[in-house]
């Protein structure tokens, strides 16, 4: 293949694309129109109505948004739900301490009484959706300025929400599709009493840790269990001891039958965001501006965190969630860049653009690509600095606390009523308490040093916060040491004391060197960067809308799927192996055998719990073993997924649950921008392994009993 010409290569890719319909994240309401025939050809045995219906209960009634960015699904008629371990991670961590280290040891409620409440955690079920394009775009005209257009759209949306919300207590959201060419309104039911039921030890739920993250072959038991509670009458309610387990109309039966290459699979969940229809310039900017800056800065953060976490078990708990978050993006962007390069993504987009230009010549879309070029060229220098500022602000954890302190300063300055100040102090106290639980001063200090160092090396002085000039003069180490010594925010006892007897002396906080650094960065952000950044992004957004529409006009025979936007979607494909590189074939499943191969008590990520080792040695797999006698752990398929799809049900041809989606393979992480059927795979946990852990490892058989299991 090496010497194949580019257009020939493109031809091959396009042919294989049309044979396997794996790409795409489809709208459940429109399956009947666009997809169901193909799904059934691929083996699906159910109807579109079975998946999504507003007239009868359907599969969608068992799928939910879990928390702020994951998917979950119901697996019993008592409100039991399953999602990923990494989706429940923050909540498991909140219940963890050195004494009760649920992160390390796992947690299993042996009765409903032992289930743990999670204030702030919500799940949302889609009740129905509606195309509201006409109403949202009412009175919008071609000649409007972008700004006026947006004002009108916002107004239309607000009145739509208001009039639709009158007769019900659903949460209503309107989301743009196809870059603002279409709008859908969503009615959700929100449940707020969601309790932790079970989580495997991290050595299972996060087995392989950040080392194996984004990779296949994978052996992570990435699941956790929660339960939804409702008011006694079944309606959604805030946490209360009087609440009862939810009685849902629908939950997924679980199939233990096993899977094979070519089997139909469907992923039903909430993909967060993709950019499939952008021009080459955007890909170029992602590959050569955003990703390199983010990767470089996060490499620095991770080096510091890793060393700290290895030095002390308490720091490991404190920084576990933070490190996972930082590492997750870092690794994805590295994989994404490699994938885009391998696909010649920029060149492919350019050749599409050449075709588009020829088609658009002298018509209403003439010159569109050229404006893109001008805009991206003008944007890039600012984009680069903006990326560095954002990474720096997110990376220095005290900045987060500084930003939460801003309100107190403002209220005090403006002589707000005493009561207002008191509640602000109280909420800051509670915020600070949570913050310091996971704060280690030395670690935070080293991260600050290395990020400031990067910034001073890479970013033009014109965009430096003033403090940096001083730091340059006096030396990085010395200055940051001093900053941390002097800062209220950096010292738990000082800050808590300050808040405890708060006497309105906001100036002390306002002059805090870390608060000050935060303010200076914000200043740069607002006055030096945002204006240029926003201007160009606004133009690009409107170009995206027009380009999207134009692409749909040019390729009339193609059925387009809208970019992901964290609304409920269906992806379908099949179980399949792949060839990651020359001479290497990756099978579609992994087994417990592979966990034992990786077993290494010396390495945190690969330290197999004794109990699991014993089950393995005794081949005590119960009803969960595959036909081949092995315990299958994970499998891959060709479903098009992205961030937010974590926890999504992976469903077989009969509509039964066979897996929980939790990741993609590294060779396929560019699928947010360009999907490659040869290389892109979603990674799922085999339900049989999850149940094996619940049953055999945890002995939580009461949970197995409430599930519907098909053998």
Which helix (H) or strand (E) is 487 found in, with range? none
Chain positions 646 to 665 lying near ligand ASP, rule: CB under 6 A, are 646, 662-664
Chain positions 322 to 341 lying near ligand ARG, rule: CB under 6 A, are 324, 327-328
The minimum distance between CB 270 and ligand ARG, in angstroms, equals 13
- If the CB atoms of residues 216 and 356 are measured against ligand ASP, the closer one turns out to be 216
The minimum distance between CB 324 and ligand ARG, in angstroms, equals 4
In the set 22, 212, 222, 544, the catalytic residue is 222
Quote the radius of gyration of the chain (alpha carbons, Å): 26
Q: Helices then strands (H, E): number in the chain?
A: 28, 20
Alpha carbons 643 and 115: distance in angstroms, whole number: 28
The dihedral of CA 320, 324, 326, 327: what is its sign? positive
End-to-end CA distance of the chain: 44
The minimum distance between CB 322 and ligand ASP, in angstroms, equals 16
How is residue 87 written in tokens?
């989706």
DSSP code for 261: T
Residue 209 within binding range of ligand ARG, rule CB under 6 A: yes
SS3 for 317? Answer: helix
In our burial notation (b when 16+ CB lie closer than 10 A, e otherwise), range 442-477 reads ebbbbbbbbbbebbeeebeeebbbebbeebeeeebe
User: How big is the site for ligand ASP, counted in residues (CB under 6 A)?
Assistant: 9
How is residue 77 written in tokens?
């008629």
SS3 for 422? Answer: helix
- Asked about 86 being catalytic, the answer comes back as yes
Residue 210 within binding range of ligand ARG, rule CB under 6 A: yes
Residue 348 within binding range of ligand ARG, rule CB under 6 A: no
Residue in 191, 234, 210 with CA at minimum distance from that of residue 72: 191
- If the CB atoms of residues 325 and 613 are measured against ligand ASP, the closer one turns out to be 325
Chain positions 652 to 671 lying near ligand ARG, rule: CB under 6 A, are 663
Strand partners of residue 659: 650, 686
Quick one: which of 201, 221, 644, 677 contacts ligand ASP (CB under 6 A)? Answer: 644
Q: Which residue matches tokens 């078990």?
A: 313
Pairing of strands 709-710, 254-255: parallel
Which helix (H) or strand (E) is 540 found in, with range? helix 530-554
Residue 213 within binding range of ligand ARG, rule CB under 6 A: yes
Residue in 118, 257, 390 with CA at minimum distance from that of residue 656: 257
Quick one: which of 102, 183, 214, 372 contacts ligand ARG (CB under 6 A)? Answer: 214
Query: Which range, of 206-214, 431-439, 575-583, 693-701, touches ligand ARG by CB under 6 A?
Result: 206-214
Asked whether 527 and 474 are in contact (CB, 8 A), the reply is no
Residue 208 within binding range of ligand ASP, rule CB under 6 A: no
Torsion of CA 308, 313, 319, 325, to 10 degrees: 100
Residue in 186, 182, 44 with CA at minimum distance from that of residue 574: 44
Which helix (H) or strand (E) is 53 found in, with range? none
How is residue 661 written in tokens?
């989606």
The minimum distance between CB 644 and ligand ASP, in angstroms, equals 5
The minimum distance between CB 294 and ligand ARG, in angstroms, equals 15
Asked whether 392 and 521 are in contact (CB, 8 A), the reply is yes
The minimum distance between CB 210 and ligand ASP, in angstroms, equals 12
In the set 646, 648, 671, 684, the catalytic residue is 646
Other CB atoms within 10 Å distance of the CB of residue 294: 20
Q: Which residue matches tokens 């739900």?
A: 81
DSSP code for 557: T
The minimum distance between CB 290 and ligand ARG, in angstroms, equals 17
SS3 for 81? Answer: strand
**Residue 209 site contact among ligand ARG, ligand ASP, none (CB < 5 to 8 Å, cut-off depends on kind):** ligand ARG
**Residue 642 site contact among ligand ARG, ligand ASP, none (CB < 5 to 8 Å, cut-off depends on kind):** ligand ASP
The minimum distance between CB 224 and ligand ASP, in angstroms, equals 13
Q: What residues have CB less than 8 Å from 104, skipping those under 6 apart? A: 96, 201, 202, 203, 317
**Residue 327 site contact among ligand ASP, ligand ARG, none (CB < 5 to 8 Å, cut-off depends on kind):** ligand ARG
- If the CB atoms of residues 210 and 492 are measured against ligand ARG, the closer one turns out to be 210
Query: Which range, of 119-127, 186-194, 436-444, 640-648, touches ligand ASP by CB under 6 A?
Result: 640-648
**Residue 544 site contact among ligand ASP, ligand ARG, none (CB < 5 to 8 Å, cut-off depends on kind):** none
Chain positions 626 to 645 lying near ligand ARG, rule: CB under 6 A, are 643
Quick one: which of 645, 656, 665, 684 contacts ligand ASP (CB under 6 A)? Answer: 645
Other CB atoms within 10 Å distance of the CB of residue 523: 12
**Residue 383 site contact among ligand ASP, ligand ARG, none (CB < 5 to 8 Å, cut-off depends on kind):** none
Alpha carbons 452 and 480: distance in angstroms, whole number: 9
- Asked about 582 being catalytic, the answer comes back as no
Query: Which range, of 205-213, 290-298, 307-315, 388-396, touches ligand ARG by CB under 6 A?
Result: 205-213
Alpha carbons 9 and 496: distance in angstroms, whole number: 63
Quick one: which of 646, 648, 665, 682 contacts ligand ARG (CB under 6 A)? Answer: 646
**Residue 210 site contact among ligand ASP, ligand ARG, none (CB < 5 to 8 Å, cut-off depends on kind):** ligand ARG
Chain positions 29 to 88 lying near ligand ARG, rule: CB under 6 A, are 86
Query: Which range, of 11-19, 356-364, 574-582, 638-646, touches ligand ASP by CB under 6 A?
Result: 638-646
Residue in 240, 445, 209 with CA at minimum distance from that of residue 328: 209
Residue 530 within binding range of ligand ARG, rule CB under 6 A: no
- If the CB atoms of residues 130 and 210 are measured against ligand ARG, the closer one turns out to be 210
Alpha carbons 50 and 58: distance in angstroms, whole number: 5
- If the CB atoms of residues 88 and 562 are measured against ligand ASP, the closer one turns out to be 88
In the set 22, 61, 85, 86, the catalytic residue is 86
**Residue 645 site contact among ligand ARG, ligand ASP, none (CB < 5 to 8 Å, cut-off depends on kind):** ligand ASP
**Residue 279 site contact among ligand ARG, ligand ASP, none (CB < 5 to 8 Å, cut-off depends on kind):** none
Residue 300 within binding range of ligand ASP, rule CB under 6 A: no
**Residue 213 site contact among ligand ARG, ligand ASP, none (CB < 5 to 8 Å, cut-off depends on kind):** ligand ARG
- Asked about 646 being catalytic, the answer comes back as yes
The minimum distance between CB 504 and ligand ARG, in angstroms, equals 43
Extended beta strands in 231-352, E state? 244-245, 254-255, 264-269
Q: Which residues are catalytic?
A: 86, 222, 646
Point out which residues bind ligand ARG (CB under 6 A).
86, 209-210, 213-214, 324, 327-328, 643, 646, 663
Point out which residues bind ligand ASP (CB under 6 A).
641-646, 662-664
């Amino acid at each position: 293949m090496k010497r194949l010409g580019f257009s020939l290569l493109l031809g091959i890719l396009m042919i294989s694309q049309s044979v396997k319909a794996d790409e795409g994240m489809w709208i459940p309401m429109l399956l009947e129109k666009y997809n169901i025939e193909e799904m059934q050809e691929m083996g699906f045995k159910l109807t579109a109505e079975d998946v999504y219906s507003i007239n009868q209960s359907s599969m969608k009634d068992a799928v939910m948004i879990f928390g702020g960015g994951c998917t979950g699904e119901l697996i019993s008629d008592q409100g039991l739900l399953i999602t990923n371990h990494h989706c429940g991670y923050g909540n498991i961590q909140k219940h963890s301490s050195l004494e009760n280290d649920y992160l390390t040891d796992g947690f299993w409620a042996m009765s409903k009484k032992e289930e743990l409440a999670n204030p702030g955690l919500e799940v949302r079920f889609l009740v129905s959706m509606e195309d509201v394009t006409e109403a949202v775009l009412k009175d919008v005209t071609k000649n409007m300025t972008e700004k006026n257009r947006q004002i009108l759209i916002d107004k239309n949306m607000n009145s739509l929400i208001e009039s639709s919300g009158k007769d019900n207590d659903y949460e209503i959201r309107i989301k743009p599709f196809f870059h603002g060419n279409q709008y859908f309104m969503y009615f959700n039911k929100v449940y707020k009493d969601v309790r932790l039921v079970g989580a495997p030890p991290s050595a299972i739920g996060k087995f392989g840790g950040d080392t194996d993250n984004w990779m296949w072959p994978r052996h992570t038991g990435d699941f956790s269990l929660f339960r939804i509670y409702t008011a006694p009458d079944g309606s959604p309610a805030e946490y209360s001891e009087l609440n009862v387990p939810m009685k849902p109309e629908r939950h997924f039966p679980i199939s233990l039958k096993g899977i094979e290459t070519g089997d139909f699979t469907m992923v039903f969940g909430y993909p967060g965001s993709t950019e499939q229809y952008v021009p080459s310039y955007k890909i170029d900017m992602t590959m050569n501006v955003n990703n390199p800056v983010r990767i470089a800065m996060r490499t620095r953060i991770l080096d510091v965190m890793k060393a700290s976490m290895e030095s002390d078990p308490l720091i490991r708990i404190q920084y576990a969630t933070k490190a996972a978050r930082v590492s997750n993006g870092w690794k994805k962007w590295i994989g994404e860049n490699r994938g885009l390069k391998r696909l010649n993504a920029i060149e492919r987009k350019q050749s599409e653009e050449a075709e588009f230009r020829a088609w658009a010549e002298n018509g209403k879309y003439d010159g569109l690509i050229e404006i893109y070029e001008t805009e991206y060229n003008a944007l890039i220098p600012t984009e680069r600095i903006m990326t560095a500022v954002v990474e720096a602000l997110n990376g220095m954890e005290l900045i987060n606390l500084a930003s939460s302190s801003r309100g107190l300063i403002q209220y005090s300055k403006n002589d707000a009523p005493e009561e207002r100040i008191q509640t602000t102090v109280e909420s800051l106290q509670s915020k600070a308490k949570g913050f310091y639980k996971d704060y280690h001063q030395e670690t935070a200090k080293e991260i600050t040093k290395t990020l400031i160092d990067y910034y001073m090396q890479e970013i033009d002085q014109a965009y430096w916060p003033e403090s940096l000039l001083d730091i340059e003069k006096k030396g990085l180490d010395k200055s940051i040491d001093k900053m941390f010594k002097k800062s209220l925010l950096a010292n738990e006892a000082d800050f808590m004391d300050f808040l405890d007897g708060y006497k309105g002396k906001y100036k002390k906080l306002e002059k805090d060197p870390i608060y000050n650094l935060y303010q200076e960065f914000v200043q740069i952000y607002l006055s030096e960067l945002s204006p240029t950044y926003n201007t160009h992004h606004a133009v690009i957004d409107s170009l995206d809308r027009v380009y999207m529409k134009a692409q749909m006009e040019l390729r009339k025979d193609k059925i387009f799927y809208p970019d992901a936007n964290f609304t409920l979607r269906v992806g379908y494909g099949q179980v399949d192996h792949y060839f990651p590189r020359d001479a290497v074939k990756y099978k579609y499943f992994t087994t417990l055998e592979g966990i034992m191969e990786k077993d290494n008590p010396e390495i945190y990520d690969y330290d197999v719990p004794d109990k699991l080792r014993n089950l393995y040695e005794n081949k005590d797999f119960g009803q969960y073993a595959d036909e081949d006698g092995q315990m299958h752990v994970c499998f891959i398929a060709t479903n098009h997924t992205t961030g937010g799809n974590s926890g999504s049900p992976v469903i077989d041809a009969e509509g039964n649950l066979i897996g929980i989606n939790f990741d993609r393979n590294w060779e396929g992480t560019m699928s947010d921008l360009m999907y490659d059927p040869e290389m892109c795979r979603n990674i799922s946990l085999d339900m049989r392994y999850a149940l094996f852990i619940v049953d055999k490892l945890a002995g939580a058989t009461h949970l197995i009993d409430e599930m519907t299991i098909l053998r």
